[in-house]
A and B are shown apart, each in its own frame.
Chain A
Amino acid sequence: MSGQLVRLAETGRAPVAFRFDGQDMTGLLGDTVLTAILLGTGSLRPAEFGPERRAGFCLMGACQDCWIWAEDGSRLRACSTPVAAGMRLLSTAPERWPA
């Protein structure tokens, strides 16, 4: 599907390649992880307590709606983490992860 977000400005920055749920994606240097993912797809993760999906809410580090996973099992807050080349990100906990 197309992304939730639309880029309107600041398009001259260097590209940054990363993976999200096994898909290759590209952001721009200075994008947050949330921006980079939601430009290409509609959400960050499934909700834990309902059928819907989630895509962050406050973008200022206050709601904690935007935490996702990295393939190594670490977690990160997508709205306040800059995207970096080679990141391997997941919408859900990696398998073998003792949840």
Chain B
Amino acid sequence: MTRVLIVGAGPAGIRAAERLVGAGLRPVVVDEGARAGGQIYRRPPDGFIRPPQQLYGSDAGKARALHALFDAMAAAGQVDYRPQSSVHAIRDGVAHVAATRIPYDRLILATGATDRLVPVDGWQRAGVFSLGAAQIALKAQGVAIGRQIVLAGSGPLLTLVAAQLLAAGAGVAAVLDTSPLAAQVQGGIGMALARPTVTARGLAMRARLGRLYHAGVRLERITDDALHWRDAGGRAQVTECDAVALGWHLRAETQLADLAGARFAWSDTWAQWLPVADQMGRAGRGLYLAGDGLRILGADGAEVAGALAASACLDDLGIATPDTRALLRRARRLTRFAAAMARAFPWPGAQLDALPDTAVLCRCEGITLGQMRAAADHGGPEANRVKSLGRIGMGRCQGRYCQLAAADLIARHAGLAPRDVGRLRGQPPVRPVPIGALLDD
């Protein structure tokens, strides 16, 4: 039987598995999580009792459906499910999971996204987390990241996480959005045209934040007990806090796609390098991409993309699949919504312009903006050269949280566009591996 490997058991990976199982295949599904669901539908460990309605709000029904679908496939042995397993390398048709090798004929990558970050002076301190982390703490552990929390950045998660924390009784000191109101109105119109109900729900959530919410801000500095910022009128403000959560929408998790041979193109819409694929998710011979790891379309878009990628895979294997025209129409509408959303919550360029040379750019190794600029002056404004000279993107996180900002800062410094600075190439291992597994290679 053809061996299909799916990496990721979020909405995209689960819908891909469903379609393959429906066609009589038995895919291997490798996922880092202890239980299937992915980021948005992340499940708490056994023994936690909050009902889905409390964890996932208006999406509880979707969460329940996906969990039940996947659990049933796993219980029936229709998928070869490998939870708590990280693929750290892909080479010549073999995925490496610690010391285990998983050979495959076809590969579907549904690896999702992480928060997209830009550095803020002082962000290396304990008590500064990503926005996603603030949500994971609440959803999967029932804890708040502090007593007086500032949520800052931009994107749909900002309002959502603030609302979830408030509903759970956490102390939220401020919600600071770097996106100016004008951009939000402009993008918001496109969002409302594509998905009126979802947009209205977001606006209502925002309205409930009331005076905690500020648009068009610039973050300046995080100290031990406060966040310093400027409001839309340019006035200096200080908000006392013991925890900060930062995030600017999402960054596609593309390292495995890179290792598997996908091509990349700069996307102005999403302000990041994204893999190139056809509308079904085909990205190369036997390689299919789906979900936020291909395009940041959100959870509903990920479900659609997962089904499409599996259909493409089946098609290429000569196996009949259900008609995909309705799915493709839905994907186009969700893409319009997501692109409008990206316009509503843009990359915070103005804040990067004001970042001091002493600010830490790479949290992993404490490399400052000044050190990176020196490397760029010495070796030229090219991302991979700055990486080898300045170690930007070589730390523990492998550039996940600094490389987009680093490339943009290099570009700003040299008067170039970010795409002209080039893309940091992915390198295995994309996740840490036990030494023994590497010695084996």
* Residues of A bordering B, CB below 8 Å: 4-14, 29-32, 35, 39, 42-44, 47-50, 52-65, 67, 77, 80, 82
Contact = CB atoms under 8 A, between A and B. Distances in A.
B195 interface: no
Given A39-B143, A60-B132, A65 B168 contact: no
A77 B397 CA distance: 13
Nearest to B146: A4
Contacts of A30: 44-48, 141
A64 B242 CA distance: 22
A50 B432 contact: no
B351 interface: no
A23 to B, nearest CB: 17
Interface of B: 32, 39, 44-50, 86, 114-115, 124-130, 132-133, 136-138, 141-147, 168-170, 242-243, 253, 360, 363-367, 396-397, 400-401, 431-432
A29 B365 CA distance: 33
Contact of B144 (A8, A14, A58, A60): A8
A21 to B, nearest CB: 15
**Which 3 A-B pairs rank lowest in CB-CB distance, beginning with the nearest?**
A49-B366, A10-B142, A64-B396
A25 to B, nearest CB: 15
Contact of B130 (A5, A48, A55, A58): A58
Nearest to A44: B126
Contacts of A48: 365-366
Contacts of A13: 47-48
Given A8-B138, A47-B366, A52-B124, A59 B129 contact: yes
Contacts of A55: 126-127, 129
A65 B137 contact: no
Contacts of B44: 10, 30
Nearest to B365: A49
B356 to A, nearest CB: 16
Contacts of A14: 47
